[in-house]
């Protein structure tokens, strides 16, 4: 009995309840000609019945799906003979449980099936059957009770419209709180893991240390036993690459925005804008291999021909490609801002005999500047958080350097390397990823807040 | 009336004053289109926005040191006509202007004419005050700077001061020239825009409903200002207020659906309108 089938049954029941509620509302007042005696339109009585028929049942279904497996497992484990579970570690117990479940669902288990496991699996299977039946029964009861409740309320004096409106509001609040709570949950989990990290490594060392070498020795006498968690090289690397990216993206994005907003004939704009948007739609991983396979070797070859030593994973290559990725972002934000400068400003300037470029430089640009700054800051926070390009094109070695021709690494690259592959989740090495993530989050959050503040302040000026 | 009758005889484009005008789409203008001392001379001006014929064969002179007001119901083309006079319609890509418009016998419609000096000679004040989001000083200094009118900071300071004085704003703002132009009140902003226009020493000033966004007191100040400016400048003003037209202008032109229906001295237009449409409009029957 799948939950999907149940879901459809509930939805069908809702449709039926709507029909019944509406019908009854009309019948109670004595036909369609009398519906103005009802407090609300008949459909609202239908909605009311449908919501009562469906919502409790759907909520129950949601909780049931979430909890069924855990409860059944707990019940099964409790039924196991004590001598089987007595001296099992946590890991072995979960292995045993997955064995039981595999046998119960007819999958392949990890080894010989002992009689205890077979018995437990049968027990599990039986419990599952009972649970299914109980679910069906409960849902049917809820749907029937809800329908009856709604149906019985279809009376002229009942304020169905107001009730439906408030139920709708509750549903909307529920969904928006899901979004908010998810964000909160992510932030808190990163925060708690970071606190665990800072218990192992002092935060002063993390924020101000200049050496990054996230090694934790397995044995005391191991080579490279000393780990260093100074994040400064990572942040300078991130800033260097972002700076190169902005150096490319801001002028190109801004000037193309000026062209598109002020000079371009309608025809040019109608195809140039979509092309820019395509640039924004290229997956970052594609930019990544473009950087690693095309730009970096080209720069290296070019460097050799003029006698410069350019690392094959130079900050320059990653930064340039990231800049190209950000161009459409800067350009579309700036274009919006430039377009929102009132035409009256342009007219005023033209009427004084200013040329188009004088008008742009001296009137439109200063007027749009706060908005442009806000857009650029948003682009910077985008660059700082960008991962895929730097994973593929930037290096892994944490060099503390300002030379764009050398290889640097970034915060995001280190997070990826720390967390990919088999990792233990209690060593400082892995926990460092959370601390890095938290710092990155705080930095981009601050940038975004400043940017949005500037943009909003600017908006007020002309409203 | 005698003087105008003689002129009518000389000009084929005008018609003697017998109350015609049952015909709504009159192609000819009643009254005297010429001016004794014309600065701008428009002949058979037509404007289209795409296929919309917004101005139809309008001929009109704008004379030295006179204020000419253009009145008419909304959408009659009076603002469009005004914007032809300094080629502001160039900024509207769908607009197409035909006919002859001369400033001091020079054809401004000619594509070889540079609009930059033209717009310095024919300034414009807009319906809604549109100070730049800069300081009061910079708002005025903008025009002289782009035209290179001054050689030193001292000269520029002086020009800013005289412009503000002529616009009657100096006393109110002399202590806060660094304040933003947008921080002024609506009437002050509009006088700032007038000062800005005066700063580049125009010869003709076009005003497009300059008081429609202002309160009566600010309006009275601006109207007084217009009257003073008449001594030095030639002014064309578009207005929705017939009282304003009567107060500030010497000549009045009545537009209707893209036609220049009637033009004459302000006294004549308001006291003895010749055309049925003009009479209907000024007596408040429509518009």
Render pLDDT for A162-194 as a digit per residue (tens, 0 to 9). 999 999 999 999 999 999 999 999 999 999 999
pLDDT in tens, A368-422: 888 888 889 889 988 998 888 888 888 888 888 888 888 888 899 888 888 887 7
Do B133 and A350 lie within an 8 Å CB cutoff? no
The SS3 assignment for B261 reads: strand
Whether A353 is in a domain gets the answer: yes
Neighbours of B57 (CB within 10 A): 18
pLDDT-derived band at A277 (thresholds 50, 70, 90) equals confident
- Final residue of a structural domain among A143, A158, A173: A158
Do B91 and A342 lie within an 8 Å CB cutoff? no
Closest approach of chain B CAs to the CA of A462, in angstroms?
10
Tell me the β-bridge partners of B70: B238, B253
Give the per-residue pLDDT at A255.
94
Q: What is the dihedral angle through the alpha carbons of A142, A145, A151, A154, rounded to the nearest 10 degrees?
A: -100
Whether A112 is in a domain gets the answer: yes
Do A352 and B143 lie within an 8 Å CB cutoff? yes
Give the per-residue pLDDT at B16.
41
pLDDT in tens, B16-34: 444 444 444 445 788 888 8
pLDDT in tens, B191-236: 999 999 999 989 999 999 898 888 888 889 889 989 988 999 999 9
Give the per-residue pLDDT at B33.
83
Chain B contact for A352, CB < 8 A?
yes
pLDDT in tens, A250-261: 999 999 999 999
Residue B39 CA neighbour count, 13 Å, CB half: 21
Q: Which of residues 362-381 of A touch B (CB under 8 A)?
A: 362-363, 366-367
Give the per-residue pLDDT at A68.
84
Whether A212 is in a domain gets the answer: no
- Considering the domain architecture, whether residues A260 and A145 belong to the same structural domain is answered as no
* Mean per-residue pLDDT of chain B: 85
The packing angle between helices A115-152 and A3-29, to 10°, is 10
What is the rounded distance in angstroms from the CA atom of residue A305 to the CA atom of residue A297? 12
Whether A378 is in a domain gets the answer: yes
Residues of chain A in contact with residue B133, where contact means CB-CB under 8 angstroms, are 345, 366-367, 461
- Considering the domain architecture, whether residues A244 and A103 belong to the same structural domain is answered as no
- Considering the domain architecture, whether residues A135 and A258 belong to the same structural domain is answered as no
Do B119 and A265 lie within an 8 Å CB cutoff? no
pLDDT-derived band at A458 (thresholds 50, 70, 90) equals low
pLDDT in tens, B88-138: 888 888 888 989 999 988 898 888 888 888 998 999 999 889 999 889 999
Which DSSP helix (H) or strand (E) runs through A98? helix A90-105
Inter-residue contact A374 to A454 (CB < 8 Å): yes
Residues of chain B in contact with residue A461, where contact means CB-CB under 8 angstroms, are 133, 182
Do B146 and A351 lie within an 8 Å CB cutoff? no
Give the per-residue pLDDT at A223.
58
Closest CA to B115 of A349, A265, A344: A349
- Considering the domain architecture, whether residues A153 and A239 belong to the same structural domain is answered as no
Domain residues for the domain of A38 are: 3-158
Question: Which two three-digit tokens encode residue B214?
Answer: 């202002």
Whether A25 is in a domain gets the answer: yes
- Considering the domain architecture, whether residues A372 and A279 belong to the same structural domain is answered as yes
- Final residue of a structural domain among A100, A130, A158: A158
Do B146 and A366 lie within an 8 Å CB cutoff? no
- Listed in sequence order, the residues at least 6 apart from B263 whose beta carbon sits closer than 8 Å to its beta carbon are B29, B30, B31, B32, B33, B60, B251, B252, B253, B254, B269
- Considering the domain architecture, whether residues A336 and A429 belong to the same structural domain is answered as yes
pLDDT-derived band at A242 (thresholds 50, 70, 90) equals very high
Do A266 and B132 lie within an 8 Å CB cutoff? no
Question: Which two three-digit tokens encode residue A6?
Answer: 């149940």
Closest approach of chain B CAs to the CA of A372, in angstroms?
15
Percent of chain A with pLDDT over 90: 30
pLDDT in tens, B39-92: 899 999 999 998 889 888 999 999 888 999 999 888 888 889 999 999 988 888
Do A348 and B126 lie within an 8 Å CB cutoff? yes
Residues of chain A in contact with residue B118, where contact means CB-CB under 8 angstroms, are 353
* Mean per-residue pLDDT of chain A: 86
Question: Which two three-digit tokens encode residue A279?
Answer: 């640039």
Closest approach of chain B CAs to the CA of A376, in angstroms?
21
Chain A contact for B284, CB < 8 A?
no
Give the per-residue pLDDT at A202.
86
Chain B contact for A345, CB < 8 A?
yes
- Considering the domain architecture, whether residues A241 and A343 belong to the same structural domain is answered as yes
- Considering the domain architecture, whether residues A151 and A232 belong to the same structural domain is answered as no
Whether A110 is in a domain gets the answer: yes
What is the rounded distance in angstroms from the CA atom of residue B228 to the CA atom of residue B210? 16
Q: Which of residues 111-140 of B touch A (CB under 8 A)?
A: 115-120, 123-124, 126, 128, 130-134
- What DSSP string runs through A368-415? HHHHHHHHHHHHHHHHHH--HHHHHHS-SS------TTSB---HHHHH
- Final residue of a structural domain among A158, A181, A206: A158
Q: What is the CATH number of the domain that holds A233?
A: 1.10.3720.10
Whether A33 is in a domain gets the answer: yes
**Distance (Å) of CA A434 to CA A409, A421, A429:** 17, 16, 10
The packing angle between helices B153-166 and B186-198, to 10°, is 130
Whether A203 is in a domain gets the answer: no
Neighbours of A182 (CB within 10 A): 10
Chain A contact for B146, CB < 8 A?
yes
- Considering the domain architecture, whether residues A278 and A403 belong to the same structural domain is answered as yes
Inter-residue contact B123 to A352 (CB < 8 Å): yes
- Considering the domain architecture, whether residues A11 and A138 belong to the same structural domain is answered as yes
Q: Report H helices in chain B.
A: 2-10, 78-84, 115-121, 136-147, 153-166, 170-173, 186-198, 216-229, 242-248, 266-271, 276-282
- What DSSP string runs through B188-233? HHHHHHHHHHHTT--SEEEEESTTTTS-HHHHHHHHHHHHHHTTT-
- Considering the domain architecture, whether residues A332 and A411 belong to the same structural domain is answered as yes
Q: What is the ipTM of this complex?
A: 0.82
Instruction: Work out how many domains chain A is built from and give that number.
Output: 2
Do A461 and B119 lie within an 8 Å CB cutoff? no
Q: What is the dihedral angle through the alpha carbons of B105, B108, B110, B115, rounded to the nearest 10 degrees?
A: 140
Q: What is the dihedral angle through the alpha carbons of B112, B117, B120, B123, rounded to the nearest 10 degrees?
A: -10
Chain A contact for B201, CB < 8 A?
no
- Considering the domain architecture, whether residues A355 and A444 belong to the same structural domain is answered as yes
Chain B contact for A301, CB < 8 A?
no
């Amino acid at each position: 009995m799948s939950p999907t089938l149940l879901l459809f049954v509930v939805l069908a029941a809702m449709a039926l309840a709507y029909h019944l509620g509406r019908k009854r509302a009309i019948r109670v007042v004595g036909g369609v000609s009398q519906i103005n005696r009802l407090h609300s339109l008949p459909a609202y009585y239908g909605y009311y019945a449908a919501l009562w028929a469906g919502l409790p049942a759907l909520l129950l279904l949601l909780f049931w799906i979430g909890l069924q497996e855990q409860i059944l497992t707990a019940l099964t484990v409790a039924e196991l003979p004590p001598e089987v579970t007595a001296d099992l570690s946590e890991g072995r117990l979960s292995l045993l449980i997955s064995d039981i479940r595999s046998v119960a669902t007819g999958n392949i288990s990890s080894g010989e099936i002992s009689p205890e496991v077979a018995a437990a699996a049968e027990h599990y299977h039986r419990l599952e059957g009972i649970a299914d039946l109980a679910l069906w029964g409960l849902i049917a009861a809820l749907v029937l009770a809800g329908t009856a409740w709604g149906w019985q309320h279809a009376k002229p004096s009942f304020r169905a419209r107001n009730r439906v409106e408030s139920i709708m509001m509750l549903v909307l609040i529920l969904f928006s709180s899901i979004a908010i709570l998810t964000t909160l949950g992510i932030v808190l989990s990163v925060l708690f893991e970071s606190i665990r990290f800072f218990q192992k490594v002092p935060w002063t060392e993390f924020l101000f240390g200049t050496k990054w070498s996230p090694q934790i020795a397995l044995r005391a006498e191991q080579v490279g036993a000393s780990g260093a968690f100074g994040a400064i090289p990572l942040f300078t690397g991130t800033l260097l690459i972002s700076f190169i990216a902005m150096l490319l993206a801001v002028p190109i994005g801004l000037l193309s925005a000026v062209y598109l907003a002020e000079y371009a004939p309608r025809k040019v704009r109608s195809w140039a804008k979509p092309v820019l948007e395509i640039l924004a739609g290229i997956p970052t991983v594609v930019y990544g291999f473009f950087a690693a396979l095309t730009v970096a070797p080209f720069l290296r070859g070019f460097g050799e021909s003029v006698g410069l030593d350019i690392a094959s994973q130079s900050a320059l290559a990653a930064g340039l490609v990231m800049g190209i990725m950000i161009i459409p972002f800067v350009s579309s934000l700036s274009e919006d801002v430039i377009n929102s400068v009132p035409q009256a400003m342009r007219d005023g300037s033209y009427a004084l005999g200013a040329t188009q470029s004088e008008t742009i430089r001296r009137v439109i640009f200063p007027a749009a500047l706060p908005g442009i700054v806000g857009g650029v800051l948003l682009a910077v926070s985008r660059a700082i958080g960008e991962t895929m390009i730097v994973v593929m094109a930037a290096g892994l070695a944490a060099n503390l350097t300002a030379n764009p021709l050398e290889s640097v690494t970034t915060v995001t690259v280190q997070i990826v390397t720390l967390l990919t592959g088999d990792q233990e989740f209690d060593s400082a090495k892995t926990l460092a990823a959370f601390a890095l993530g938290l710092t990155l989050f705080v930095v981009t959050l601050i940038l975004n807040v400043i940017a949005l503040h500037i943009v909003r302040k600017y908006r007020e000026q002309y409203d | 009336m005698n003087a105008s009758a003689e002129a009518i005889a000389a000009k084929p484009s005008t018609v003697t004053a017998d109350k015609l005008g049952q015909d709504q789409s009159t192609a000819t203008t009643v009254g005297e289109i010429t001016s004794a001392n014309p600065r701008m001379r428009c002949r058979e001006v037509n404007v289209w926005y795409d296929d919309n014929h917004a101005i139809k064969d309008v001929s009109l002179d704008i004379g030295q040191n006179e204020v000419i007001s253009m009145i008419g119901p909304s959408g009659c083309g009076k603002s469009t006509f005004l914007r032809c006079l300094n080629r502001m319609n160039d900024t509207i890509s769908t607009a197409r202007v035909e006919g002859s418009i001369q400033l001091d016998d020079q054809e401004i419609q000619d594509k070889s004419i540079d609009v930059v000096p033209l717009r310095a000679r024919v300034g414009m004040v807009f319906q809604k005050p549109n100070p730049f989001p800069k300081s009061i000083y910079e708002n005025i200094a903008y025009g002289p700077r782009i035209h290179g009118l001054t050689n030193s900071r001292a000269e520029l300071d002086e020009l800013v001061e005289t412009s503000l004085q002529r616009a009657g704003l100096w006393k109110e703002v002399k202590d806060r020239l660094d304040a933003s132009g947008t921080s002024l009140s609506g009437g002050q902003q509009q006088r700032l825009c007038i000062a800005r226009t005066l700063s580049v020493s125009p010869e003709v000033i076009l005003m497009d409903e300059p008081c429609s966004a202002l309160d009566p007191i600010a309006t009275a100040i601006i109207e007084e200002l217009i009257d003073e400016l008449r001594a030095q400048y030639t002014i064309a003003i578009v207005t929705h207020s017939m009282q304003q037209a009567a107060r500030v202008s010497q000549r009045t032109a009545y537009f209707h659906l893209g036609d220049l229906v009637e033009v004459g001295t302000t006294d004549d237009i308001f006291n003895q309108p010749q055309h049925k449409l003009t009479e209907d409009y000024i007596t408040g029957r429509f518009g």
